[in-house]
Amino acid sequence: MHKQITKNVLEVKNYLKESLKGTLMENLAKTVYHTFKPQEKIDFVINRQDNALTVEILKRILTKESNCIDIGCNTGEFLTPISQIASLGHHYAFEPIPRLANRLRKKFPNIDVREIAVSDAEGEATFWYVVNAPALSSLQQSHWNNHSPDAITEQLTVKTQKLDDILPPDFKVHLIKVDVEGAEMQVFQGGIRTLKTHKPYVIFEEALVNIEDENVRHNVKVYDFLVGECELQIFELKNWLEDLAPLSRDEFLKTHSWNFIAAAK
């Protein structure tokens, strides 16, 4: 009974937070919240900086006709600039949490919103919805379990599909944004045809949460797949904007950044 009450309170908090997204009250609410949660403010500042860099990248790489894919779009923070910049493009958005998917459909009626988890196989899977931190929800239990040991979770059964099975082979993709909390490899493997054929820009979040070796902060399989298999180059966001060199394999493994852009060589 107590657990259900706690969950209900958290869901009300999530609803209010999502309702404030993109409004004038959002920054005020965050300022008040971080007064009591100073450690979380550090991550928030870094994330806000990376979000600003991402929007700047979108302005550089997209045209009015660009087609974009947002995988793990949560509240759709990047769907707004995507739909504004690439106003004539066809866009897909994937979000497995029913409440968020419904909200996205209402907010972005011209975007093809799918309530599924993009993965490396078609079927069903257990999706771990983190009630007290929805952005950490994932197909990978180890991700939220290590990142937030006090997480309050709910298991959802979600549909999974491969990106290559969803998109027509001749559908030209210009940008794929991926934020799937540890399930990046499943997304990439399920979209290998799209990645190799169209060489889209890929903006993605990736960071190991269970770090046994302080010198290895990222999944080497992600680097080898995108660079070796798909012939892309990986950059830190700021470095790409400044036209600096791509990351070597060793640099990728050691960097403290967790947001990247992959681009054709």
Q: What is the mean pLDDT of residues 61-81?
A: 96
Instruction: Report percent pLDDT > 70 for the chain.
Output: 78
Q: How confident is the model at residue 208 (pLDDT cuts 50, 70, 90)?
A: confident
Answer yes or no: is 254 within a domain.
yes
**Residue 13 lies inside a defined structural domain of this protein:** no
Residue 69 lies in a domain: yes
- Domain with residue 71: its CATH number is 3.40.50.150
At 4, the pLDDT band (50, 70, 90 cuts) reads low
Of 129, 66, 70, 68, give the one whose Cα is nearest residue 97: 129
- Tell me the whole-structure pTM to 2 decimals: 0.84
How many Å apart are CA 9 and CA 200, to the nearest integer?
A: 41
Residue 240 has pLDDT above 90, yes or no: yes
Least confident of 35-49, 112-126, 135-149, 223-237: 35-49
Asked if 54 and 203 count as a contact pair (C-beta separation under 8 A), the reply is yes
- Determine, yes or no, domain membership for 17: no
Q: Is residue 155 part of a domain?
A: yes
Asked whether residue 11 is domain-assigned, the answer is no
- Asked if 130 contacts 148 with a C-beta cutoff of 8 angstroms, the reply is yes
Strands 175-178 and 201-205: parallel
Structure tokens that stand for 260 in this block: 């990247």
pLDDT higher than 80, residue 215: no
In a domain? residue 27? no
Compute CA 27 distance to the chain's CA centroid, rounded to the nearest angstrom.
21
Beta-strand pair 123-130/153-162: antiparallel
pLDDT band at 133 (very low <50, low <70, confident <90, very high): confident
In a domain, 88, yes or no: yes
Q: How many domains does one find in the chain? A: 1
The residue segments making up the domain with residue 117 are 40-264
